[in-house]
Amino acid sequence: MTAATPLQFGIDLGGTKTEIIVMSASGDTLLRQRNATPAHHYDAIVANIVSLVQQAQQQLPGDYTLGLGIPGAISPTTGLVKNANTTCLIGRDLQRDLEQALAQPLVIANDADCFALSEATDGAAAGKASVFAVIIGTGCGGGWVINGQLINGPNAIAGEWGHNPLLWRDDQDAQTDCYCGQRGCLETLLSGPGMRQQAYLETAIDQSSEQWFTQYQQQNPIAQQVFQRYHRRLAKALAGIINILDPHAIVLGGGVSNLDSIYQQVPQLWQEFVFSDSVSTPLLKAKHGDSSGVRGAAWLGAGAAHGYNTLS
C-alpha cells in the first residue's frame, strides 16, 4: 500500500491580508482562507500564520508540504529576512520561528517569485520556456522562471525589477524617495501608491489609484493624460527586461494589472525601446488573479519536498 500524497499548503503574507490555500497534487483548491495581516507586529504575524496552518490542518488532516511567500527575501548570508516592505520582518529569523512553532519544514520565497512560479506552472504562461512575472500593486516586484525553475540568484534578488531606476527617464518622471533608501525606483512610479503620487505631482489632484482608474474608464481627459504617461513609463520599464532577458512571456499581476488598456497600449509603446526590428513578446494578464501568489507558494513547498521547482 502506497502512502498518500501530501497536501500542498501555501501561504501568501501580504501587507494587508494573509491567505492560506490547500491544494491537491493536481492543483485543485481544497481550502482557502484569509485573515487581516497585523503588519506592524512581528510576533502577531507569526501567530497569525501558525493559526491559519493549524486551522487548515484541523479541517484537512494529514501530511502536508508548506511554502510561504513574503514581501521580501531571506538573506543567503544571515538567513534573516531582508528587503521587506513589511518592515517589522527585516532582520528576523522567520523560517526558524515558524518551523519551531509548527514542527514542520517550510520553504520561503519572495511573493513575486511565488506569483511567477504560479503563472509559469499552470497559469497564463504555462508551457513557456521562460517567464518574467511582475506584481504591480502596493509594491512593485518581479520573478523569473526558466523551464519551470524559479531563479533566485546568489543574492536572493533575481527579478527585483521594482528597485531599479526608470530607463529613458524624462522631465515628467519625478524622482521621489523609496523605502529602500534610493530615489526614483520603479516602485515609486508604477505601484499603486507610486502612481497616485506621480499623478498628484502632475495634476495637484490627490486621489487613489482606483479613483484614477474609474475616471480613466469614464474618458476623463485629465485621467487620460495621467494614464498615457503611466503606460509609457511601464513600456520603458518592461522594454529594459526584454532587452536583457528576452523572456518568452511577461505576466502582470496586482491591482494595477487589472487595467485592460495596459495590454493594448504597452506592447505598442515598448517597440520604440526594445533593441529589435520587431517584438513578439506576449504581455499577459495573470490567470489566477489575486490567488496566484498563494498558489505559487503551495507549488514551491511541494516542489522543494520532491526536488523540483526549487530555488537555484
Most confident of 25-29, 149-153, 232-236: 232-236
- Residue 205 and residue 238 share a domain: yes
- Residue 263 and residue 171 share a domain: yes
Report, as an integer, the average pLDDT of 92-96: 98
- Residue 174 and residue 75 share a domain: no
Quote the domain boundaries for residue 71: 7-111+290-306
What is the per-residue pLDDT across 197-229, written as a single tens digit (0 to 9) for each? 999 999 999 999 999 999 999 999 999 999 999
pLDDT score of 233: 97
Report, as an integer, the average pLDDT of 38-64: 96
Report, as an integer, the average pLDDT of 115-119: 96
Report, as an integer, the average pLDDT of 141-152: 93
- Residue 275 and residue 128 share a domain: yes
- Residue 248 and residue 141 share a domain: yes
Q: Flag whether pLDDT at 51 surpasses 70.
A: yes
Q: Flag whether pLDDT at 100 surpasses 80.
A: yes
Q: What CATH code is carried by the domain that includes residue 178?
A: 3.30.420.40
Average pLDDT of every residue of the chain: 93
- Residue 107 and residue 28 share a domain: yes
The answer as to whether 167 is a domain residue is yes
Distance CA 212, CA 194 (A): 13
- Residue 301 and residue 262 share a domain: no
pLDDT score of 306: 59
- Residue 194 and residue 95 share a domain: no
- Residue 91 and residue 22 share a domain: yes
Beta bridge partners of 253: 135
- Residue 272 and residue 141 share a domain: yes
pLDDT score of 1: 34
The answer as to whether 205 is a domain residue is yes
Please answer whether residues 153 and 128 qualify as being in contact, where contact means their C-beta atoms are separated by less than 8 angstroms.
no
- If one counts the domains in the chain, the total is 2
pLDDT score of 137: 87
